[in-house]
A and B are shown apart, each in its own frame.
Chain A
Amino acid sequence: MDVFGNVLYGFQISLQPINLLYCFVGVILGTLTGVLPGLGPSGTIAILLPITFNAPAVSSVIMLAGIFYGAQYGGSTTSILVSIPGEPSSIVTCIDGHQMARHGRAGPALGISAFGSFIAGTVGVIGLMFVASPLAKIALKFGPPEYFSLMVLGLIILIYLTQKSLIKAISMGAFGLILSFFGLDIVSGQPRFAFGLDELFDGVGIVPVAMGLFGVAETLANLEKTEEVKIFETHIKGLLPSRKDWADSIWPLIRGTTIGFFLGILPGGGAILSSFVSYAVEKKVSKHPERFGQGTIEGVAGPEAANNAASSTGFIPLLTLGIPANVVLAMLLAGLLIHNITPGPLLLKQHPDVFWGVITSMYTGNVLLLVLNLPLIGMWVQITKLPYRLLFPLIILFCVIGVYSINNAVFDIWIMLIFGAIGYFMKKCDYEPAPLTLAYVLGPMMEQALRQSLIISNGSFSIFFFRPISAIALVVAVFLLVTAFTGFAKQKRLQVVEGE
């Protein structure tokens, strides 16, 4: 079957009423999580994972994917109106988007953000359709060393992008790897680190860990804040950008989409990195760089297009190699594994319904988001005013029931609470939870690939350096670590954020 035949097949699946419903619920929840600061897509996916146990696999993944890219849309609303990024990938949008709102141009800022997101998201999905299938075929030739090195690269890119201490981020990665080794050994079946507890024979579940780190820990951290978030009061009018706005935005949209498309493919890259790079590029190529930070529409169009294109193409390494590009996609990987679906080069052969169904649902989801977001912008603004005193008990309740419902075991609630407390205190001490979660998800695959590689090479680590793809991935990883330790990358990123 050619690509068009596959796309038609995908639409047959994604346009089924049940899958449309799941897609609709996903994008609505995603937008909601993007709009609400304090509840990210990782937390939402973690909370919803147990609910998807009894749902069909394709529908579940369509919904979880909808949450991911829907959050990119929603995140821009709070960035523009409140100057609080609902999502890390919307940090850059705060700079010019909020200034536009302050100058009475909230409407065009929200409008170009929605249209830009739609265009970029659609281009990303189309690219995904054409790239994913050939890449999956190439990936069939990958052996354990390639997989191991690509996973190391993915982890290093995520660590490289952390905003706080680099050494602490690597520590959290190592901590996550260790946690992933709890349970039965993949080769011998020998129990590891069970500490005499029967419940630990299966390891520490990803859902309690993720809910603890993202749901409970975030709630604990948010409870500390005494001040209420002030919404910038403005009358939102003219959501459709003017001809001049379009003329100013068209090239930033094209450049942002291109940047997002390619950076999204990188394992570990994705929406955050691409939005920063897009903003830096727009500032560099602009005839009026001094306008950046003052409320220029190019500063909104480029990064918003970039983060949405990247969130679509981020699915390429996940679906073709089984390597999640970021922590949200790691949660999605967990969702696939729960349904006994292993993403990777064989996914296309074994589960074409999941592969093409999810990809085409992203196109449907992007249309739904555009249709929903513009007319409902007033409702999303009202939701940003939802008092936290009502929101946090509901988040906690969903976490508790979600965790309990996996095995009907109170033990999982305890695990969640332990990781909630760990996550809270670690966050206070600049230890970020994202590397831990990604390492936790990648850990078993990394261990298997490492052990297989060493057995193949008869105990020689040179196997990782004599195979070209593996060697390139490791060299890039080392390069990133060196630049990160020298502080060059951090300085550059701070310059972009501060608009220097």
Chain B
Amino acid sequence: MKKWMNRISTLFLFGFSVIILFMSLKLKVGSLNNPEAGFAPFLASLLLLFLSAVILIKDFLSFAEADQKVPFITWKNLMKPINLMGALIGYGLLFTTLGYVTSTFLLMLAMFIIYESKKWMHKIITACIIAGISFLIFDVWLRVPLPKGIFDFSSFIKTWW
């Protein structure tokens, strides 16, 4: 699996460098005595293109026997990071709509569940407390304008405080 992950990550860098290379040319590279906006990105993308090509070639030529001896990652281990990323993407999507307090409560609850799924009541109360206290710290004290959303719990917290 590591071999494939390696190839995918290196292909990502390769593709990225190709895109930047063409965009730099479009920006105009200029000349050595008058370098323009695309000059430095062109050089950096050329270097990245070369290096990622070398890594890819090395990877295809090697049999990577050593990699197979060590278990790289299992689906069981990968589940928690994937779930956390899913929760964070959901948080990003709902952040302005639901508001800071509600979306943070849901994110906290999701993260507690991701780690272990016992003691539900305990988790709900802890998530509530963290969402409320963090709102007080950042919105009320540090004056970070956090989104209120459709469930405006923020005014309730402020009134209660």
Contact = CB atoms under 8 A, between A and B. Distances in A.
A167 B130 CA distance: 43
Interface string B44-81: 11011001101100000000000000001100011011
Contacts of B52: 171
Contact of B33 (A175, A221, A459): A459
Contacts of A223: 80-81, 84, 114-115
A429 B27 CA distance: 32
Interface in A442-463: 443, 446-447, 450-451, 454-455, 458-461
Given A187-B37, A389-B115, A397 B134 contact: yes
Which of B88, B92, B143 gathers most chain A CB within 10 Å?
B88
B51 to A, nearest CB: 4
A245 interface: no
A424 B13 contact: no
B45 A417 contact: no
B150 interface: no
B80 A451 contact: no
A219 B55 contact: no
A443 B88 CA distance: 30
Contacts of A458: 33
Chain A, interface SS category = helix
B17 interface: yes
Interface stretch (A291-299, A318-326, A407-415): A407-415
Interface residues of B, number: 61
B48 A175 contact: yes
Given A181-B41, A454-B32, A193 B23 contact: yes
A216 B89 CA distance: 12
A393 B40 contact: no
Interface in A158-198: 165, 167-168, 170-171, 174-175, 177-178, 181, 185, 187-188, 190, 192-193
B5 A397 contact: no
A401 interface: yes
B112 A389 contact: yes
A393 B44 contact: no
Interface in B111-136: 111-112, 114-116, 130, 134
Given A393-B108, A396-B111, A401-B138, A428 B5 contact: yes
A408 B96 CA distance: 11
A429 B6 contact: yes
A69 B91 CA distance: 35
Contacts of A447: 40
Contacts of A382: none
Residue in A175, A192, A396, A460 with the greatest tally of chain B CB atoms within 10 Å: A175
A405 B144 contact: yes
B47 A417 contact: no
A178 B47 CA distance: 10
Contacts of B84: 219-220, 223, 396
Contact of B40 (A396, A450, A459): A450
Interface size class of A (residues with CB under 8 A): 35 or more
B51 A396 contact: no
A299 to B, nearest CB: 29
Contact of B81 (A165, A188, A220, A410): A220
Contacts of B151: none
B111 A392 contact: yes
A226 interface: yes
Contact of B2 (A224, A404, A405, A429): A429
Nearest to A456: B33
Nearest to A394: B130
B104 interface: yes
A405 B52 CA distance: 36
B108 A397 contact: yes
Contacts of B32: 454, 459-461
B34 interface: yes
B111 A171 contact: no
The 5 closest A-B pairs by CB, nearest first: A459-B33, A459-B32, A185-B37, A174-B48, A223-B80
Interface of B: 2, 5-6, 8-10, 13, 16-17, 20, 23, 27, 31-41, 44-45, 47-48, 51-52, 54-55, 72-73, 77-78, 80-81, 84-85, 88-89, 91-92, 95-96, 104, 107-108, 111-112, 114-116, 130, 134, 138, 142-146
27 contacts: A167-B51, A170-B51, A171-B48, A178-B16, A178-B45, A181-B40, A192-B27, A193-B23, A216-B88, A223-B115, A224-B78, A226-B77, A392-B115, A396-B107, A397-B104, A397-B107, A397-B108, A404-B146, A405-B142, A410-B96, A414-B92, A424-B81, A451-B35, A454-B33, A455-B33, A455-B35, A461-B32
Given A174-B17, A454-B32, 14 more contacts: A165-B55, A167-B51, A167-B55, A171-B48, A174-B48, A181-B40, A181-B41, A216-B88, A221-B81, A225-B77, A404-B144, A426-B9, A428-B5, A458-B33
